[in-house]
Amino acid sequence: MRELSLNVLDIAQNSITAGASLVEIELNIFELEDRFEIVIRDNGKGIEEEFLNKITDPFVTTRTTRKVGMGLPLFKYSAEQSGGRFEITSKVGIGTVVKGVYIISSIDRMPLGNIEDTLITLIISSNKVDILFSVKSDRGNGYLDTREIKKVLDGVPIDSIEVIEFIKNYIKENLSYLYGGLE
Amino acid sequence: MKSLAELTAIRNKMKAQIDNREVEKDGDILIKVGMATCGIAAGARPVMTAFLEEVSKRGLKNVKITQTGCVGMCRLEPMVDIFVKGEKVTYIKLTPDKVVKIVADHLVNGNICTEYLIGKEN
């Protein structure tokens, strides 16, 4: 993975596979403390405690097409190599929270990358899942909620190409100034 | 700054189009991009956005883009399945540049880009 937003895409895909109806992606930036965190929270089926304990082992996976699962190990690595940390908590029947904390000035911190493309890819991936993307930073707060967008659309599919383009530009024009500089 | 009011305009325009679209169901094209860890790491996201951009640039109305998981051939990612009138074709090791050619040749003109097909990798 060359940018953190690709890790976010990968982890959020797990949430969709887990049957989540809402995936929340939070970007909390504390510039004065030289750190930021990425939180991916879902209301999917959750993970059994026994499996959770070994989940960052790349040779543990639920998939059947191959024997390795690199998604969470790569995300964990991305946080730890910047001097930050990784957390995962989960409850069966309630959902899962994955969190990465990053040191902004670390030379080993990967760039955040193109978070707009990650969000539209997720929306295209499953038009049934709702995405709540929120950013908190010293510059202000903002969010994008696909539930609000679907309400306006009134039956027009959210994954139509015209709508996806609107969403991409919406994030760029309304939210990107909040996390500018981390890319 | 963009506002949700602009979205209302897009919705109204699209609602008018949907009625016309039902007629040409036969011509529908489905694009499925492999989007598991292996696909993402190999560059599936720029491939998907390239499809979005090309389809939008050409104003193709009968195209749906979606994703699929890992099919076990991680070394051939980014992989894309394209269904035209129910006929499936699998392209491998795609890049945004190859996508431009596929949209022009395959989706618009109906000529499959055989050089990017699965089975041609050696």
Cβ-based contacts of B74 with chain A (< 8 Å): 66
Percent of chain A with pLDDT over 90: 72
B69–A contact, CB cutoff 8 A: yes
Q: Do A152 and B11 touch (CB under 8 A)?
A: yes
Residue with the bigger pLDDT between B19 and B46: it is B46
Q: What HEC string does chain B produce? A: CCCHHHHHHHHHHHHHHHHHHHHCHHHCEEEEEECCHHHHHHCHHHHHHHHHHHHHHCCCCCEEEEEECCCCCHHHCCCEEEEECCEEEEECCCCHHHHHHHHHHHHHCCCCCHHHECCCCC
How far is the C-alpha of B12 from the C-alpha of B48, rounded, in Å?
Answer: 26
Per-residue pLDDT at A68 exceeds 70: no
Q: Where are the domains of chain B?
A: 4-116
Please give, rounded to a whole number of angstroms, the shortest distance from the CA of A162 to a CA of chain B: 7
- Phi/psi of residue A54, nearest 5 degrees: -115, 15
How far is the C-alpha of A122 from the C-alpha of B103, rounded, in Å?
Answer: 22
Q: Do A165 and B36 touch (CB under 8 A)?
A: no
Please give, rounded to a whole number of angstroms, the shortest distance from the CA of B112 to a CA of chain A: 23
Residues whose CB falls within 8 Å of the CB of residue A169, separated by 6 or more in sequence, listed in order: B2
Question: Which of B14, B36, B63 is the closest to A156 by Cβ?
Answer: B14
Q: Do B67 and A164 touch (CB under 8 A)?
A: no
* Structure confidence at residue B23 (pLDDT): 46
Mean pLDDT of chain B: 88
Nearest residue of B to residue A144 by CA position? Answer: B4
Q: Do A65 and B45 touch (CB under 8 A)?
A: no
B120–A contact, CB cutoff 8 A: no
Q: Do A161 and B56 touch (CB under 8 A)?
A: yes
How far is the C-alpha of B27 from the C-alpha of A31, rounded, in Å?
Answer: 51
CATH tag for B4-116 (out of 3.10.20.30, 3.40.30.10, 3.40.50.410, 3.40.718.10): 3.40.30.10
Cα→Cα distances A11→A43, A67, A74, A176, Å: 14, 18, 10, 21
How far is the C-alpha of A60 from the C-alpha of A120, rounded, in Å?
Answer: 29
How far is the C-alpha of B46 from the C-alpha of B69, rounded, in Å?
Answer: 16
Query: Average pLDDT of B105-114?
Result: 94
How far is the C-alpha of A55 from the C-alpha of A59, rounded, in Å?
Answer: 9
Cβ-based contacts of B79 with chain A (< 8 Å): none
* Structure confidence at residue B59 (pLDDT): 87
> Could you tell me the pLDDT band of residue A26, with boundaries at 50, 70 and 90?
very high
A79–B contact, CB cutoff 8 A: no
Q: What HEC string does chain A produce? A: CCCHHHHHHHHHHHHHHCCCCEEEEEEEEEHHHCEEEEEEEECCCCCCHHHHCCCCCCCCCCCCCCCCCCHHHHHHHHHHCCCCEEEEEEECCCEEEEEEEEECCCCCCCCCCCHHHHHHHHHHHCCCCEEEEEEEECCEEEEEEHHHHHHHHCCCCCCCHHHHHHHHHHHHHHCHHHHCCCC
pTM of the model: 0.87
Q: What HEC string does A33-66 produce? A: HCEEEEEEEECCCCCCHHHHCCCCCCCCCCCCCC
Query: Average pLDDT of A115-119?
Result: 95
Q: Which of A145, A123, A96, A159 is nearest to B35 (CA)?
A: A123
| pLDDT tens readout for residues B81-106 | 999 988 899 999 999 999 999 999 99
Task: Say how many C-beta atoms besides its own lie within 10 A of residue A93's C-beta.
Answer: 8
| pLDDT tens readout for residues A86-115 | 999 999 999 999 999 999 999 999 999 999
Q: Do A159 and B15 touch (CB under 8 A)?
A: no
Q: Do A124 and B7 touch (CB under 8 A)?
A: no
